[in-house]
A and B are shown apart, each in its own frame.
Chain A
Amino acid sequence: MDGALPLIWRKFGERYDLDGNKCGTCGTAYFPARAVCPKCRRKGTLVAQKMPKKGKIVTFTELFAGPAGFEHETPYFIAIIELDNKARLLSQVVDSEKEKVKVGARVEKVFRKISDIDPEGPIAYGYKFKVVG
Chain B
Amino acid sequence: MIGIVGYGAYVPKYRITIEEIARVWQKDGKAISKGLNVKEKAVGSLDEDAATIAVEAARKAVSHAGIEAKNIGALYVGSESHPYAVKPTASIVADAIGASPDLTAADLEFACKAGTAGIQMCLGLVGSEMPKWIEYGMSIGADTAQGRPGDALEFTAASGGAAYIIGKKNEEIIAEIEDTYSFTTDTPDFWRRPHAEFPRHAGRFTGEPAYFKHSIGAAKGMMERTGTKPSDFDYAVFHQPNGKFPIRVAKMLGFEKEQIEQGLTTPHIGNTYSASMMLGLASVLDKAKAGERIFAVSYGSGAGSDAFVIKATKNIEKNRPKPVFELFKEKEYIDYATYAKFRKKLKSL
Q: Report yes or no: A112 in contact with B48, Cβ–Cβ below 8 A.
A: yes
Confirm or deny: A95 has a beta carbon within 8 angstroms of a beta carbon on chain B: yes
| Chain A neighbourhood of B332, CB < 8 A | 97
B interface size (C-beta, 8 A): 20
Task: Specify which of B46, B56, B83 is in contact with A73 (CB 8 Å cutoff).
Answer: B46
In the complex with contacts A73-B46, A113-B48, A95-B56 CB distance below 8 A: no
- How many A-B residue pairs have C-beta atoms within 8 angstroms? Tell me: 43
A77 to chain B, nearest CB (A): 12
Shortest C-beta distance, A109 to chain B (Å), equals 10
- The interface-forming segment of B33-41, B91-99, B226-234, B274-282 is B91-99
Is the pair A95, B45 in contact by a Cβ cutoff of 8 Å?
yes
Contact of A112 among B47, B84, B95, B98 (CB under 8 A): B47
B13 at the binding interface (Cβ < 8 Å): yes
**CA A12 – CA B96 in complex, angstroms?**
8
| CB <8 Å contact, A113 and B98 | no
Q: Determine the residue in chain B with the shortest Cβ distance to A114.
A: B47
Which residues, 92 to 133 on A, are CB-close (under 8 Å) to B? 94-95, 97, 110-114, 116, 123, 125, 128
Interfacial residues of chain B within 45-60, with CB under 8 A of chain A in the complex: 45-49, 51-52, 55-56, 59
Partner of A125, one of B46, B92, B98, B349: B92
Q: For A94, give its contact among B47, B51, B341 (CB under 8 Å).
A: B47
A115 CB, min distance to chain B CBs, angstroms = 9
Is A113 a contact of B52 with CB atoms below 8 Å? yes
Minimum distance in angstroms from B27 CB to a CB of chain A: 28
Contacts of A123 in B (CB 8 A): 49, 51, 83-84
Q: How far is the CB of A132 from chain B (nearest CB, A)?
A: 10
Q: Return chain A residues, CB-CB under 8 Å to B49.
A: 113, 123
| Interface membership of A72, Cβ < 8 A | yes
Number of residues of chain A lying within 8 A (CB) of chain B: 18
Are A125's CB and B51's CB within 8 A?
A: yes
CB B17 to nearest CB in A, in angstroms, measures 19
Whether A16 contacts B52 by the Cβ 8 Å rule is no
- Interface pair A111/B13, CB less than 8 Å apart: no
A contact residues around B83 at 8 Å (CB): 123
Q: Complex Cα distance A125/B91, Å?
A: 12
Is A125 a contact of B48 with CB atoms below 8 Å? no
Instruction: Take A110-B56, A111-B55, A113-B52 as given contacts and tell me if A125 and B45 are in contact as well, using a CB distance cutoff of 8 Å.
Output: no
- Give A15-70 interface residues, CB cut-off 8 Å to B: 16-17
Do B349 and A112 have beta carbons less than 8 Å apart? no
* Inter-chain contacts of B98 with A (CB < 8 A): 17
Assess A72 versus B46: contact at CB under 8 Å? Given A111-B55, A111-B56, A125-B51.
yes
CB-defined A-B contacts under 8 Å, sample of 14: A12-B95, A73-B47, A94-B47, A97-B332, A110-B56, A111-B59, A112-B47, A112-B52, A113-B52, A114-B47, A123-B49, A125-B51, A125-B55, A125-B92
Q: What is A's interface to B at a CB cutoff of 8 Å?
A: 12-13, 16-17, 72-73, 94-95, 97, 110-114, 116, 123, 125, 128
The 10 A-B pairs with the shortest beta carbon distances in the complex, nearest first, are A112-B47, A111-B55, A16-B96, A113-B47, A95-B13, A111-B52, A112-B52, A72-B349, A12-B95, A16-B95
